[in-house]
Amino acid sequence: MIANFFNQTKPINFVVLSIMMLLVFMISSIATYSGDFSFVFLLKKGAFLFLTILMIFVYNFIIRKNALTENNSYALLFYILLIGFFPYILENNKLLIANFILLFSFRRIYSLRTSIHVREKIFDSAFWIGIASMFYFWSILFFILIYSAIWAFNKGEKRNIFIPIIGFTTPIFLTFVYYLSGDNLIEFSKLWSINYDFSLSSYVFLKLLFPLVFLIILSLISVYPTTKKSLIAKMDFKSTWTILMIHILLALSIVLISPQKTGSELMFLFFPLSILLANFIQIIKKYWLKEMIIYIFFITFFSIYFL
């Protein structure tokens, strides 16, 4: 029954998903907050609740506009539940903002499959990555995704090769000028402190390990059948799927080198993985299997708060 409900994109689905996001946000915030409740705390949380709900609508727009999934709400459902899997995401404000900004970049990157306003799209995608990198440095790796899209969608004209560099440096240069005018270049330099840590020891804790193992297993199971289907699809979808796979690899690289591994860094994976999982659910013919996977998602979400 639940699989059938999300196998559509009616307005009621967005209402239910928005309520789900609200509940996930509240449960995660309560589970991770250790201080005292105050007006400032509630105001701050309210602002980030609005941001996360807005992320859902932007994410849905990207999916629908670029036909990344069929006409259903599975990707949105998985995206919300994945946020609930790792509640410390909602405590890392800069990372949350960086992911929100990156959505605008991904919107332009995936839309390069069409030949409309190509140069503007390339510039905009790099521009947003430049802004995101000032909130979370390793967002810079998604710069590779732009060139991957230029290659995959055959948009490799000479002029297009240099546009990403201009787009990326533009917000950084403007920020530099701002700090220079205030004689505060020390703060600007802090935006570019390069920290990394390849250690995965933080993931041995059960609250992170349990949902992470589930996500890894399901993702690995999903890759082969969905990729196989994409190989017999139209050329534009085949190219889009190539970009999605590269997207997953880049997001995984960010996770592996992230200096602080609290589970929040996994949010970079949620965009491509939720699309991957949605496409996997779509090709499953056995209705009971779809139901089982979705129910396991819900069980995993609720269980981590009791570990």
Given this model, what pLDDT does residue 48 score?
83
What pLDDT digit, counting tens, does each position of 47-104 carry? 888 888 899 989 999 999 998 988 889 999 999 999 989 888 888 889 999 999 999 9
Confidence at residue 232, expressed as pLDDT on a 0 to 100 scale: 81
pLDDT given for residue 307 in this prediction: 66
Listed as ranges, residues in the chain with pLDDT below 50 are none
pLDDT at 303: 86
pLDDT of residue 246: 96
Structure tokens at 300: 């995993």
Q: What's the CA gap between 1 and 22, in Å, rounded? A: 22
What is the per-residue pLDDT for 200?
A: 85
Contact at 8 Å (CB) between 108 and 121? yes
pLDDT of residue 254: 96
**Which pLDDT score, from 0 to 100, does residue 217 have?**
94
Q: Give dist(CA 112, CA 146) in Å, integer.
A: 9
Supply the pLDDT for residue 68: 92
Burial (CB count within 10 angstroms: exposed 0-12, middle 13-18, buried 19+), residue 69: buried
pLDDT of amino acid 34: 67
